[in-house]
């Protein structure tokens, strides 16, 4: 058996991915091993991460036949190869062994996530984020018969990126990587014309000026003392969100219209409200693909998939999203028969479960392998959001629901496997599941089909039978400010740190002793 490895540095979210000739075995995100959220590796740390990844799948560096990597900020590459337009060839040394490596452009690696979807014979791709090689932020592609080609950008693609969203979030929160919080804050406000016009009319300034210069202009026009209690902050967030949605819709509208499938990727794709509007725009005639690791957490996986599919001609599969770091590779799959009466009884009586099973999810969303689950009551929302995770009052918790029941509780049709869309909450859900309703009456819904995850689907069905509501709160299993947990030892320690709360760890389908 041959093995292939890819690694990626980025500004944040460094990672290593490994595949054999048939499937992706592991995506090891630096944050999951080092315990530092959004972790960027140094060169020495990347060597450590590669060593851990190899040992985790049971091979050594001598077993690796081919290597790919992304160019952007890559400390293993010479300076001239840390920015490339498309592909480049180079050499690097990993674990003391010299390799000829295939080097991918940052956005090409985002686009190569298309190879994780079965049947990607004709897909147009919109890759948008805050920046990559040469400072570029937006590219479009087409995948035809398993081969990617770059398309010419239209004017909207060159004008639009997620930078203005990042700048406004930094202005309000005083720190980077607060875009998710801004999206939640937007639900408290209303878009204002003067705010929309100012931001849209000055998009080049948001791209080119130093942040402090933009902050000064925002302070002059839209002063905010405290974002938590400021109507101006709420409306500025809502205006920024609305403009982002409109621009992403224009961006997708400028793509070739003859492809039956469209994929959104890049960090901008974590904006679930924009994704939902794009999905509605495409309608039932064209399918929208959104990978669960659409942000930089998927960079090494994209490089690996490109190498295997387009360089080696190997159609390796990727069991998204459950490819992450864990206690061990190859834990047994759980079925509906593994849903115990004890688990259903505990949840239906108001208990909170730290669900830990199999390989962890890759990307920023917990999707049932490293999840905090609870009945969707307001009490559980308060306990999880304010006590366990210590989040701001306006941050929502997501619902997980059996696929066949989703349309009964939400204004939603079809799948939402990766929690990357926003669905309107129906009246019956608002009454029976108040813990998952956001201020704008939306919910970041995840649907689970029996064929995809028989254990989690079986649990939801059993909860529906026990309580009349087949919905659970599902949020990521992590302490405040920390990444999603990977190892059972850490999960148990987190639960034990919360003494006095009705929490149990569920592993291999069984509730562990408190």
The CATH number that applies at residue 468 is 3.90.870.20
pLDDT at 208: 81
Q: Where are the beta strands (DSSP E) in 336-422?
A: 352-356, 370-374, 398-402, 410-411
The CATH number that applies at residue 87 is 3.30.420.40
Contact criterion met (CB below 8 Å) for 355 and 372? yes
Residue 408, pLDDT above cutoff 90: yes
User: Mean pLDDT in the chain?
Assistant: 96
- pLDDT band of 286, cuts 50, 70, 90: very high
Residue 67, pLDDT above cutoff 90: yes
Same domain, yes or no: 303 and 345: no
DSSP secondary structure of 441-498: SEE--EEE-TTT-HHHHHHHHHHHHHHS--EEEEEE---TTSPPP-SHHHHHHHHHTS
Same domain, yes or no: 302 and 354: no
pLDDT at 327: 93
Residue 484 structural domain: 336-511
- pLDDT band of 287, cuts 50, 70, 90: very high
Cα of 307 vs its chain's centroid, Å: 22
> 262 - beta bridge partners?
124, 288
Q: Work out the average pLDDT over 339-367.
A: 97
**Would residue 127 count as lying in a domain?**
no
pLDDT at 211: 80
**Would residue 496 count as lying in a domain?**
yes
Same domain, yes or no: 9 and 52: yes
Q: Which of 28, 23, 20, 19 is nearest to 298 (CA)?
A: 28
Same domain, yes or no: 69 and 175: no
**Would residue 94 count as lying in a domain?**
yes
**Would residue 397 count as lying in a domain?**
yes
Q: Would you state the structure tokens that stand for residue 310, as one six-digit string?
A: 């387009």
Q: Positive or negative CA dihedral for 339, 342, 348, 354?
A: negative
pLDDT digits (tens, 9 = 90+) for 425-481: 999 999 999 999 998 999 999 999 999 999 999 999 999 999 999 999 999 999 999
- The Cα–Cα gap between 435 and 382 comes to 8
Contact criterion met (CB below 8 Å) for 11 and 21? no
**Would residue 285 count as lying in a domain?**
no
- The Cα–Cα gap between 469 and 461 comes to 9
Q: How many domains are contained in the chain? A: 3
**Would residue 280 count as lying in a domain?**
no
Same domain, yes or no: 387 and 348: yes
Q: Which of 460, 439, 335, 344 is nearest to 397 (CA)?
A: 439
Same domain, yes or no: 305 and 451: no
**Would residue 462 count as lying in a domain?**
yes
Same domain, yes or no: 307 and 388: no
Q: Work out the average pLDDT over 184-196.
A: 96
- The Cα–Cα gap between 462 and 405 comes to 13
Residue 180, pLDDT above cutoff 80: yes
Residue 119, pLDDT above cutoff 90: no
Residue 318, pLDDT above cutoff 90: yes
pLDDT at 267: 96
- The Cα–Cα gap between 219 and 216 comes to 5
Same domain, yes or no: 168 and 103: no
Residue 209, pLDDT above cutoff 80: no
Same domain, yes or no: 301 and 343: no
Residue 120, pLDDT above cutoff 80: no
Same domain, yes or no: 303 and 383: no
pTM greater than the 0.85 cutoff:
yes
**Would residue 484 count as lying in a domain?**
yes
Same domain, yes or no: 503 and 411: yes
Same domain, yes or no: 42 and 186: no
pLDDT at 212: 86
Q: Which residue blocks in 264-393 are alpha helix, DSSP H?
A: 272-282, 299-306, 341-348, 378-382
């Amino acid at each position: 058996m041959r093995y292939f490895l890819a690694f990626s540095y980025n500004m944040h979210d460094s990672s290593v991915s490994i595949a054999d000739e048939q499937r992706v075995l592991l995506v090891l995100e630096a944050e999951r091993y080092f315990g530092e959220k959004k972790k960027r590796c140094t060169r020495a740390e990347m060597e450590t991460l590669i060593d851990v990844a190899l040992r985790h799948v049971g091979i050594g560096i001598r077993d690796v036949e081919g290597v790919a990597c992304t160019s952007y900020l890559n400390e293993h590459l010479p300076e001239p190869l840390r920015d490339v337009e498309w592909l480049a060839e180079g050499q690097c040394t990993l674990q003391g062994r010299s390799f000829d490596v295939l080097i991918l452009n940052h956005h090409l690696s985002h686009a190569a996530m298309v190879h994780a979807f079965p049947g990607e014979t004709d897909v147009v791709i919109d890759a948008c984020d805050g920046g990559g090689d040469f400072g570029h932020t937006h590219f479009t592609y087409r995948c035809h018969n398993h081969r990617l080609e770059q398309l010419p950008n239209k004017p909207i693609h060159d004008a639009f990126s997620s930078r203005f969203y990042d700048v406004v979030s930094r202005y309000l929160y005083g720190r980077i990587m607060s875009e998710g919080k801004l999206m939640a804050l937007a639900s408290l406000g209303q878009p204002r014309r003067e705010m929309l016009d100012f931001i849209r009319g000055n998009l080049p300034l948001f791209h080119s000026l130093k942040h402090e210069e933009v902050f000064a202009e925002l302070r002059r026009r839209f002063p905010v003392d405290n974002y938590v209690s400021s109507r101006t902050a709420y409306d500025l967030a809502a205006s920024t969100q609305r403009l982002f949605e409109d621009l992403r819709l224009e961006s997708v509208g400028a793509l070739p219209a003859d492809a039956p499938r469209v994929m959104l990727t890049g960090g901008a794709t974590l904006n679930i409200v924009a994704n939902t509007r794009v999905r509605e725009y495409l309608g039932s005639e064209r399918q929208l693909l959104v990978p669960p690791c659409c942000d930089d957490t998927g960079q090494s996986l994209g490089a690996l998939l490109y190498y295997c599919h387009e360089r080696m001609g190997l159609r390796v599969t990727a069991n998204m999203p459950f490819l992450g770091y864990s206690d061990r590779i190859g834990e047994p799959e759980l079925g509906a028969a593994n849903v115990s009466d004890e688990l259903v009884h505990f949840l239906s009586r108001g208990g909170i479960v730290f669900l830990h099973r199999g390989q962890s999810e890759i990307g920023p969303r917990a999707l049932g392998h490293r999840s905090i689950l609870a009945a969707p009551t307001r009490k559980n929302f308060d306990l999880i959001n304010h006590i366990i995770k210590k989040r701001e009052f306006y941050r929502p918790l997501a619902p997980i629901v059996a696929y066949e029941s989703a349309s009964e509780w939400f204004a939603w049709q079809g799948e939402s496997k990766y929690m990357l869309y926003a669905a309107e909450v129906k009246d019956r859900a608002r009454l029976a599941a108040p813990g998952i309703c956001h201020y704008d009456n939306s919910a970041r819904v995840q649907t689970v089909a029996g064929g995809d995850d028989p254990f989690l689907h079986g649990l939801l069905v059993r909860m529906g039978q026990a309580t009349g509501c087949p919905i659970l709160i599902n949020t990521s299993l992590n302490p405040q400010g920390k990444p999603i947990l990977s190892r059972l030892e850490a999960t148990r320690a987190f639960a034990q740190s919360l003494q006095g709360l009705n929490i149990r760890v569920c592993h291999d389908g069984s509730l562990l002793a408190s």
